[in-house]
Structure 1
């Protein structure tokens, strides 16, 4: 299927919910009717609902509703599990409904035995359209589950595309270099401060590093202080 036909998560949930509700509604009414006889009443009318004739249909419908609700809560792996459960519930509903639609007499005899105490049928079994409707809804459930499974691949892509970028380091603050303090007195960067020792490139002492006392002593001896 194309990406444009892919269902959203909301559409998938609503579709499965509607199918579950419709399947359960199809199991409630009368599926078949017949008559039996007792010693006191020669004709006892018996009507059998789908919930009695095919309990698997109503059970599958309830499972489908639960799967639809779970589809909005699970992640990627859970989504596949939920859709597999939905598909299986559709298969169970179809098989159970077709079992009654193709051979309704066993269910009718069981219902007559409960009503009269004997399994003898005094009239043919009349079948309604409800079993066929339930079987069709089961097939549709399987198709919808496959459709959602194929289209749900875009759900993960959409969530990945909108993930937040990694934040700063722990504590919410980023590490920044702290500038070195400037020398006091407005001195230019790299200028020597008084009292510090700095080696002269020629191996001597810089003139800035000669104290006044040493300079005076050198001058007293007739020496040039800068030659030291």
Structure 2
């Protein structure tokens, strides 16, 4: 069986561009989860009103998790073939949906996103803390919605995906000393040796 030909320069370049795009998506998702998503206030017996700021990684932990998923997907995309590309596209789309779900949850209920932080800061579990969302959940919503679109385009990308990267592959060693029919006749070899002939 002959080995599959190595991907050409054009196929490697296309694959490399998609890897970079997924890495960029992972970076963007990770970055938008760093700033403050929610400002909140609670009341403490000793300190009065206590202000808290909750970053996206705490308000919507799905976002940094999705960034890690996209990072892993980018690494996998460098090695897989056509079927693997579809799997990577599906996983990437699911990561984008996670980001969207987290952002929508914060925008719909900022008080719920900040309640744990207010309780930690005041020592009192407030029933309905004062809270307001910043613009960052909206940015995360846009970024998260763009990821499934990117995944769909990746799944439909033409050319160069039938051939996997062969950087870590090597051809199986050939079987020397066999004739065209495959196996040598061992008994004939012994007969030749007994006659003093060299069967090789």
Scaled by the length of structure 2, the TM-score of the pair is 0.71
Residue 136 (1) aligns with residue 139 (2): no
Matches within 5 A, 1:1-228: 8-120=14-126, 124-151=130-157, 153-156=158-161, 159=163
SS in 2 for 1:154: coil
Distance 2:87 2:121 in 1: 42
Q: Which moved more, 1:100-109 or 1:52-61?
A: 100-109
d(CA) in 2 for partners of 1:12 and 1:67? 11
Q: Secondary structure at the match of 2:40?
A: strand
Map Cα deviations across residues 106-133 of structure 1 (whole Å, 9 max, x no partner): 1122211121122338974221111111
**Shift >6 Å, 4+ stretches:** none
**1:156–1:61 Cα change, 3 Å:** closer
Equivalent-residue separation in structure 2 for 1:59 and 1:105 (angstroms): 22
| More relative contact order, 1 or 2 (CA 8 Å, 6+ apart) | 2
Cα gap change, 1:28 to 1:45, in 2 (>3 Å)? same
Tell me, in whole angstroms, the C-alpha distance in 1 between the residues paired with 2:30 and 2:94.
Answer: 16
For these two proteins, the number of residue pairs brought into alignment is 158
Within 2, Cα distance between the matches of 1:85 and 1:109? 31
SS at match of 1:32: strand
* Maintained 8 Å contact 1:30/1:130: yes
Distance 1:107-1:59 versus aligned 2 partners, 3 A rule:
same
Alignment RMSD, CA only? Answer: 2.6
Counterpart CA distance in 2 for 1:156 and 1:74 is 8
Compute the displacement of 1:88 (Å). Answer: 0.5
The TM-score with structure 1 as length reference comes to: 0.63
Q: Deviations over 1:68-113 (max 9, x none)?
A: 1110011222221111111110111111111101211111222111
In structure 1, how many angstroms separate the alpha carbons of the residues matched to 2:97 and 2:43? 37
Output the CA distance in 2 between the equivalents of 1:28 and 1:121: 27
